[in-house]
Amino acid sequence: MSRLRRKTPADELRPRRGPDSPIVELHDVTKVYPGGHVALERVSMAISRGEFVFLVGPTGCGKSTLIKLLIRDLDPTEGAVMIAGRDVAKLPDKKIPHLRRNIGTVFQDFKLLANRTVYDNVAYALQVIGASRAEIREKVPETLRLVGLQSKVHSYPDQLSGGEQQRVSIARAFVNHPPLLLADEPSGNLDPVTSIGIMQLLYRINRTGTTVLVVTHDREMVDKMRRRVIELYEGRVVRDEVGGGYTEESTTEFGMRMRAEMGVGVEGHTNGGVDDF
Amino acid sequence: MGRIGFFIKEGFRALRRNAAPSVAATVTTAITILVLGVLLPVFFFTQRTSEGVREQLAVKVFLYDDATKQEIGALRQRIRGLEHVRSVAFVSKAEALEILKDRLKDPGVLRELNTNPLPASFTVKPDDAANLTAVRRELTPPGPDGRPKPISGIVQNVVDAQETANPIEEVTSKLKIVLILLTVLLVIASVLLIGNTIRLSIYARRREVEVMRLVGATRWFVRWPFMIEGVLVGIMGGAVAILLLWLGKLIVVDPLADSFTLIKAQTDTDLAFPVLVAVLAASSTLVSAIGSGFTLRRFLRV
């Protein structure tokens, strides 16, 4: 166990086919569940490094299946799922943990460990991949500062609000600085104001160079974000368009615009101690 | 180092949160190890007793009084050359009388005898008790008429203790089978109960396992804490059993050993207590490792 060499994220997801190859590629991916339900049908897409992409669609359209395919929780029935130019299905089982170390995942239900503090929840992600104590001591507070929870370090998840819990889960997903972050309905359980805060946080993470893929069923919000949107409907891609011209706005500008568009006042903000990137 | 510390800490954490099934498994393991701790010395003792009986098993070859030294020497060589013969000892007429004198409470009886009526004999020991019959058959191969006939003219009679050996062999081998069966059943019960404990622990910590998978823990990284939890259960059960055995030795066996040579002989020579403790500790660890490993393989999909 201890001989296991730790690879840096850059090491693992180094592109095989040149620096401009997409970080996520799907080629005619079809997923049929046992029993015959077709979750995805000939889905193709490509997401470049550093993009901020929304994946939308009604419940049951195959969004969660897609996430599971990306982290190889499931294998596609047909087609190829490529992460950083590598066919995920061809990874040997032993390599799956390494794939997952390079993809941060955030879920609607947070998946926090109730019997551990905020700090321990975030540190857990590093302990699991064998990080040194020094590394944990350096990275955990830094990441908790990034998500604005430096004052809640010793709280337990049930002492936090939904938005704060989601921040912890984002911190856990990001503490290892993965090149790709997947967020499955990150604001599904949260009120609009808190949702904007979470989106703002994800945007901030995106501005550090991490590719972010946000899955949501909230089409209205997505339209206002003006980012690239891929829409799934009954397992097929029905829309893939790049929203115009906002890729260079700062996190603060982003937050302000979002609040304005959603009709929410600044007083409702939930970002503790946010420094802009 | 930090990693091993992490696993052990996680193992203990799981043990605390999973207390009820852990206690059940610990108690079962303790009982198993306790029974094993009693059975092992008993097993060794019966083994040694039956070996002692085997040791005494021999074929007696009685000779005619008119056998010459050369004839006797030749027969000794011949018997030595037979298969399955471990040793051949010659007992002369005079020696036979001495032995008889020793056994008699009143050697005066023999003074009434003018001559020595006892024959000289060979004591032939087989290499294994099971080969006693074979050796006897070699000494008295079937003659032309099909009836057993001694291999030499100077042989008066051939006698073996087969009749006494058989029941002893039977009893010890049956006792062994019963003891082994009992131990096997108890070991299976312990393995299953430890497995069950680990299964419940996996269920109780399925969220943790899920999170571990998501952040990219390797298969064995997920497994180790469960493995350690199971082995801790085994070690605790083993420790309880060893403590009870030690108390039993101190309170029951040791005082008795002073008054009963049988117990003393057995506790002293066969299986020293530290060796027994080591064997029991090792088997409790092994049993729990097997129990948890088996369950992890079946129920922990990583």
- Contact of A198 with A166, CB cutoff 8 Å: yes
- The answer to whether the Cα torsion of A107, A109, A115, A116 is positive or negative is positive
pLDDT digits (tens, 9 = 90+) for A210-237: 999 999 887 777 877 778 889 888 888 8
pLDDT class of A151 with cuts at 50, 70, 90: very high
Please check whether residue B20 touches A, CB under 8 A.
Answer: no
| Confidence at residue B52, expressed as pLDDT on a 0 to 100 scale | 67
pLDDT digits (tens, 9 = 90+) for B99-109: 877 777 676 77
ipTM, interface predicted TM-score of the complex: 0.71
| Confidence at residue A149, expressed as pLDDT on a 0 to 100 scale | 92
Quote the mean pLDDT of chain B: 79
Q: Does residue A187 surpass a pLDDT of 90?
A: no
Neighbour tally for B128: CB within 10 Å: 13
DSSP chain B: -HHHHHHHHHHHHHHHHTHHHHHHHHHHHHHHHHHHHHHHHHHHHHHHHHHHHHHH--EEEEE-TT--HHHHHHHHHHHHTSTTEEEEEEE-HHHHHHHHHHH-S-THHHHT-SS--PPPEEEEEESSGGGHHHHHHHHS-B-TTSSB--SSTTEEEEEE-HHHHHHHHHHHHHHHHHHHHHHHHHHHHHHHHHHHHHHHHHHHTHHHHHHHHHTT--HHHHHHHHHHHHHHHHHHHHHHHHHHHHHHIIIIIHHHHHH-HHHHHHHHHTS-HHHHHHHHHHHHHHHHHHHHHHHHHHH---
pLDDT digits (tens, 9 = 90+) for B39-95: 777 777 777 766 666 666 778 888 888 888 888 888 888 888 888 888 888 888 888
Q: Which long-range contacts (CB under 8 A, 24 or more apart) does B163-166 make?
A: B165/B53, B165/B54, B165/B57, B165/B129, B165/B132
- Say which residues have a Cβ less than 8 Å from residue B285's Cβ, sequence separation at least 6: B231, B234, B235, B238
CA distances from residue B56 to B53, B123, B128, B214, B251 in whole angstroms, order as listed: 5, 10, 11, 70, 35
| Confidence at residue A276, expressed as pLDDT on a 0 to 100 scale | 43
- Contact of B154 with B75, CB cutoff 8 Å: yes
Closest chain B residue to the Cα of A9, Cα to Cα: B216
Tell me the backbone φ, ψ of residue A70, rounded to 5 degrees.
-65, -40
Highest mean pLDDT range out of A50-64, A248-262, B175-189?
A: A50-64
B208 CA to chain A: closest CA distance, Å?
7
Measured CA to CA, the distance from residue A200 to residue B50 in angstroms comes to 83
| Confidence at residue A273, expressed as pLDDT on a 0 to 100 scale | 43
Measured CA to CA, the distance from residue A108 to residue B275 in angstroms comes to 57
Mean pLDDT of A235-250: 73
| Confidence at residue A211, expressed as pLDDT on a 0 to 100 scale | 94
| Confidence at residue A73, expressed as pLDDT on a 0 to 100 scale | 87
Q: Which tokens sit at B30?
A: 């303790």
Q: Which residue has the higher pLDDT, B175 or B302?
A: B175
Which of B16, B206, B208, B211 should be substituted to probe chain A, the one whose Cβ sees the most A Cβ atoms within 10 Å? B211
pLDDT class of A106 with cuts at 50, 70, 90: very high
Q: Does residue A30 surpass a pLDDT of 90?
A: yes
CA nearest neighbour of B59 among B152, B118, B126, B153:
B126
**A100 with B214: Cβ contact below 8 A:** yes
- Say which residues have a Cβ less than 8 Å from residue B113's Cβ, sequence separation at least 6: none
Q: Which long-range contacts (CB under 8 A, 24 or more apart) does A136-142 make?
A: A139/A175, A139/A176, A140/A175
| Confidence at residue A59, expressed as pLDDT on a 0 to 100 scale | 81
Q: Does residue A121 surpass a pLDDT of 90?
A: yes
Q: Which tokens sit at B227?
A: 């493995």
Q: Does residue A3 surpass a pLDDT of 60?
A: no
- Say which residues have a Cβ less than 8 Å from residue B46's Cβ, sequence separation at least 6: B172, B175, B176
Name residue A43's beta-bridge partners: A29
pLDDT digits (tens, 9 = 90+) for B166-225: 666 677 778 778 878 888 888 888 888 888 888 888 888 888 888 888 888 888 888 888
| CB-CB neighbors (< 8 A) of A115 in chain B | 17
Q: Which residue has the higher pLDDT, B207 or B113?
A: B207
CA distances from residue B120 to A62, B81, B99, B113 in whole angstroms, order as listed: 100, 20, 12, 17
| Confidence at residue B155, expressed as pLDDT on a 0 to 100 scale | 83
Chain A residues within 8 angstroms (CB to CB) of chain B:
1-2, 4, 71, 94, 97-102, 105, 111, 113-115, 124-125, 127-130, 132-133, 172-173, 176
CA nearest neighbour of A106 among A167, A50, A147, A62:
A167
**B213 with A99: Cβ contact below 8 A:** no
Lowest-confidence segment of A36-40, A67-71, A204-208, B162-166 by average pLDDT: B162-166
| Confidence at residue B156, expressed as pLDDT on a 0 to 100 scale | 82
Q: In what order do the strands lie in the sheet with A52-56?
A: A103-107, A180-184, A211-216, A52-56, A228-233, A236-241
Question: What residues of chain B, 40 to 59, have a C-beta less than 8 Å from chain A?
Answer: none
Name residue A25's beta-bridge partners: A46, A82
Quote the mean pLDDT of chain A: 83
| Confidence at residue A265, expressed as pLDDT on a 0 to 100 scale | 57
Q: What is the dihedral of CA A196, A200, A73, B195, to 10 degrees?
A: -80
How much of chain B, in percent, has pLDDT values that exceed 90? 2
Mean pLDDT of A138-151: 93
pLDDT class of A270 with cuts at 50, 70, 90: very low
Mean pLDDT of A123-148: 91
Choose the closest CB to B217 out of A71, A97, A114.
A97
Measured CA to CA, the distance from residue A251 to residue A277 in angstroms comes to 7
**A1 with B224: Cβ contact below 8 A:** yes
Q: Is A24 helix (H, G, I), strand (E, B) or coil?
A: strand
Q: Does residue A181 surpass a pLDDT of 90?
A: yes
Measured CA to CA, the distance from residue B149 to residue A258 in angstroms comes to 115
Q: Which residue has the higher pLDDT, A103 or A7?
A: A103
Give, in degrees to the nearest 5, the angle at Cα A118 between A115 and A122.
105
Measured CA to CA, the distance from residue B287 to residue B185 in angstroms comes to 12
Question: What residues of chain B, 121 to 140, have a C-beta less than 8 Å from chain A?
Answer: none
Choose the closest CB to A111 out of B3, B17, B207.
B207
> Strands (DSSP E) along A199-245, which ranges?
211-216, 228-233, 236-241
